A and B are shown apart, each in its own frame.
Chain A
Amino acid sequence: MGVRKGIEVSLAISEAVAQCNVDLIAAYPITPQTHIVEHLSEIVANGELDAEFVPVESEHSAMSVCCGSAAVGARTFTSTSSQGLALMSEIFIIASAMRLPVVMALANRSLSSPLSIWNDHTDTMLVRDAGWIQVFIENGQEAYDHMPWAFRVAEDPDVLLPVAVNIDGFILTHMIEPVEYIEDSVIKKYLPEFKYPIALHPDNPLSMGCFAMPELYTEAQKARDNAVVNSYSTIVKAWKEWEQLTGRSYHPIETYRADDADYCIVTMGSYGETAMEVVDMLREEGEKVGAVKIRLWRPFPFDDFYKAVLGKNHLVVIDRAISFGGPGGPVASELRSALYSKQGAPKVINYVAGLAGRDVSRHDFKNILLDAKEKVQRGEMEGYTLYGLRG
């Protein structure tokens, strides 16, 4: 159907965004997101996309411009990483509060300090509770596919929330691999014109994000939580529609050879691909292992998760961020909490690995599994282990 190209994933993301016919892009360059916005600015400058490219002076301004843009009903895109996300966090949170359907490609990178440009999930965990819809993707094709999907979900009248597509920095953004492009006409069919129901307009003045007394704040937060929770059905519907058009299927929680697995490796993002490879490798050695991959992070898909793991014995959860002084990595902590009162809940053994791009090879995954088994035998399953820690 589409053309298959060998291309850097960042550029495929930019081209997918252009195919979505966005109206406005506001962004500030930061490694490893840079190629995404560079290429978009090139596409706009070449006249290939009729959009405003706003080269702002900071990420705080980038998100401010995006909010204004979405509020007038323009299809709006931005992209950032790490410190950029931290700087824009004030407005990032407001985007969801004001129900502004901005789409972001978040090229995941660790937070300073020490200054690091490499990949992990510490940046995205900073905004975990910001009220955005958040997904994680595993390869270039998924990155491409999730641009139209993100606009489709964000702008749906039943949703109207910002969407962040988490893309592992460097590991995916700087990878050259095959990506199948979908024809413009198919994307146009999939992605209806954006009609913001409460768009700002001089003829129809209204206020957004106003002051609220304590009598209203709680209800405002409840309304926002409802919006995030209720977005689930549109999220799944948008994946189904994409599958009908492209044959590629996506689910909130995905499993690989997990049915009879005694140990399941749980990952988010590009590690899911290596995990599948490791599962194949260990299955050949006679180990009963499988993989569980969290694609939808917010709203957290509790029922899909229970369906995937209840009745299993052990989950080896690989976190890519650390919660200082906390009970474990952010993913494991959530999973433990979700499983606490459930019958047939598996034990969670937690590892924090691959901080700041430290490579986690198949061999490392195997080591983690062996270590987890020993921990289970010793009954030491609380807390977490920082894998590969030296000294």
Chain B
Amino acid sequence: MLEIRFHGRGGQGAVTSAELLAIAAISKDIYAQAFPSFGPERRGAPVVAFCRLDDKKINIRAKVYNPDIVIVLDPGLLSLINPTEGMKEGGTLVLNSKKTPVEIRDEYGFNSRIVAVDANKIAHEELGRPIVNTTMLGAFLKSTDLLTVKDIERPIMERFGTKLGPKNIRALERAYKEAVIKE
């Protein structure tokens, strides 16, 4: 089972990221769960969402405590939280950052695998607003061979429609290309 934790701020779409990922996985006959850290929604406040993926039925109904992958949508959260908390050995950190994975490692001392992409820049250029949920999924997809960009296109089109859907797909494709991985 692969357990994923998303960190974002209310309004950035961390919950949507988790949902799109689960829906794409389920369409590929993978078993998946996606759920928010339940509570009242507050724009701008740190939020957490979770996703679990497995090839068999998932029975756990608790939060994710030991993620394999942590995705951080907001660069500013790195000074507030430790995204690697509880992370499994050999885990992957997927970050929205202008910096390279090596610079991030030197600054914060993370010893996990790091994937970094300047998602704010891509989202700004492709969507005209700093909502990075779909962009960060592009970086995530590059870090694992679980799903392809193609797999996630349909859930994105269904969620965002014909106007915003293609823009979100372009942002995701760019992030997939531009993300840098440091093992």
Contact B61 A271 (CB under 8 A): yes
State which of B29-37, B72-80, B94-102, B122-130 sits at the interface with chain A: B29-37
Q: Which residues of B contact A361 (CB under 8 A)?
A: 62-63, 65
Q: Known: A276-B59, A359-B63. Is A117-B33 also a contact (CB below 8 A)?
A: no
Interface majority SS (helix, strand, loop, mixed), chain B: mixed
Contact A359 B62 (CB under 8 A): yes
> B38's closest neighbor in chain A, by CB?
A170
**CB proximity of A95 to chain B, nearest CB, Å:** 30
Contact B38 A6 (CB under 8 A): no
Interface majority SS (helix, strand, loop, mixed), chain A: mixed
Q: Which residues of B contact A175 (CB under 8 A)?
A: 33-35
Q: Which residues of A are at the interface with B, using a C-beta cutoff of 8 A?
A: 4-8, 32, 117-119, 168, 170-172, 174-178, 270-271, 273-274, 276-277, 357, 359-364
B23 is an interface residue with CB less than 8 A from chain A: yes
Q: Known: A6-B22, A6-B25. Is A274-B35 also a contact (CB below 8 A)?
A: no
Contact B61 A273 (CB under 8 A): yes
Q: Which residues of A contact B26 (CB under 8 A)?
A: 4-6, 177-178
| Cβ 8 A contact of A6, one of B27, B39, B58 | B27
A-B contact count (CB 8 A): 74
**New A-B pairs, 13, CB < 8 Å, besides A6-B22, A176-B18, A178-B26:** A8-B19, A32-B38, A117-B39, A119-B38, A176-B23, A176-B33, A176-B35, A177-B22, A274-B59, A274-B60, A274-B61, A274-B62, A357-B38
Contact B60 A362 (CB under 8 A): yes
> B155's closest neighbor in chain A, by CB?
A6
Within the assembled complex, what's the spacing in Å between the Cα atoms of A274 and B64?
Answer: 13
Q: Which residues of B contact A177 (CB under 8 A)?
A: 22, 26, 31-34, 58
Q: Which residues of B contact A118 (CB under 8 A)?
A: 38-39
Q: Which residues of A contact B109 (CB under 8 A)?
A: none
Within the assembled complex, what's the spacing in Å between the Cα atoms of A37 and B22?
Answer: 24
B40 is an interface residue with CB less than 8 A from chain A: yes
Q: Which residues of B contact A357 (CB under 8 A)?
A: 38
Q: Which residues of A contact B33 (CB under 8 A)?
A: 175-177
Per CB-CB distance, the 5 closest pairs between chain A and chain B, nearest first, are A6-B26, A6-B23, A170-B38, A176-B34, A361-B62
| Cβ 8 A contact of B19, one of A4, A176, A363 | A176
> B35's closest neighbor in chain A, by CB?
A175
Q: Known: A359-B62, A362-B62. Is A174-B23 also a contact (CB below 8 A)?
A: no
Within the assembled complex, what's the spacing in Å between the Cα atoms of A359 and B50?
Answer: 14
Q: Which residues of A contact B29 (CB under 8 A)?
A: 4
Q: Which residues of B contact A364 (CB under 8 A)?
A: 62
Within the assembled complex, what's the spacing in Å between the Cα atoms of A276 and B29?
Answer: 23
Contact B38 A176 (CB under 8 A): no
> B50's closest neighbor in chain A, by CB?
A175
> B29's closest neighbor in chain A, by CB?
A4
96-123 of chain B: CB within 8 A of chain A: none
Contact A176 B40 (CB under 8 A): no
Contact A174 B35 (CB under 8 A): yes
Q: Which residues of A contact B18 (CB under 8 A)?
A: 176
Contact A360 B62 (CB under 8 A): yes
Within the assembled complex, what's the spacing in Å between the Cα atoms of A187 and B60?
Answer: 30
Within the assembled complex, what's the spacing in Å between the Cα atoms of A6 and B24?
Answer: 8
Q: Which residues of B contact A171 (CB under 8 A)?
A: 35, 38, 61
Contact B35 A273 (CB under 8 A): no
Within the assembled complex, what's the spacing in Å between the Cα atoms of A72 and B38?
Answer: 39
**CB proximity of B64 to chain A, nearest CB, Å:** 10
Q: Which residues of B contact A360 (CB under 8 A)?
A: 62
Within the assembled complex, what's the spacing in Å between the Cα atoms of A13 and B102?
Answer: 47
> B18's closest neighbor in chain A, by CB?
A176
Within the assembled complex, what's the spacing in Å between the Cα atoms of A6 and B38?
Answer: 19
Q: Which residues of B contact A119 (CB under 8 A)?
A: 38
**CB proximity of A110 to chain B, nearest CB, Å:** 12
| Cβ 8 A contact of A277, one of B25, B36, B59 | B59
**CB proximity of A187 to chain B, nearest CB, Å:** 22
Q: Which residues of A contact B31 (CB under 8 A)?
A: 177-178
Within the assembled complex, what's the spacing in Å between the Cα atoms of A364 and B61?
Answer: 12
Within the assembled complex, what's the spacing in Å between the Cα atoms of A86 and B58?
Answer: 34
Q: List 30 contacting pairs A-B, 8 Å CB cutoff, sorted by A.
A: A4-B26, A4-B29, A5-B26, A6-B23, A6-B24, A6-B32, A6-B155, A8-B19, A117-B38, A118-B39, A119-B38, A168-B61, A171-B61, A174-B38, A175-B33, A176-B18, A176-B32, A177-B31, A177-B58, A178-B26, A178-B31, A271-B61, A273-B59, A276-B59, A357-B38, A361-B62, A361-B65, A362-B60, A362-B62, A363-B65
Q: Which residues of B contact A274 (CB under 8 A)?
A: 59-62
Within the assembled complex, what's the spacing in Å between the Cα atoms of A176 and B34?
Answer: 5
> A9's closest neighbor in chain B, by CB?
B35
> B36's closest neighbor in chain A, by CB?
A174
Q: Which residues of B contact A174 (CB under 8 A)?
A: 35-36, 38
Within the assembled complex, what's the spacing in Å between the Cα atoms of A363 and B86?
Answer: 13
Within the assembled complex, what's the spacing in Å between the Cα atoms of A175 and B22?
Answer: 10
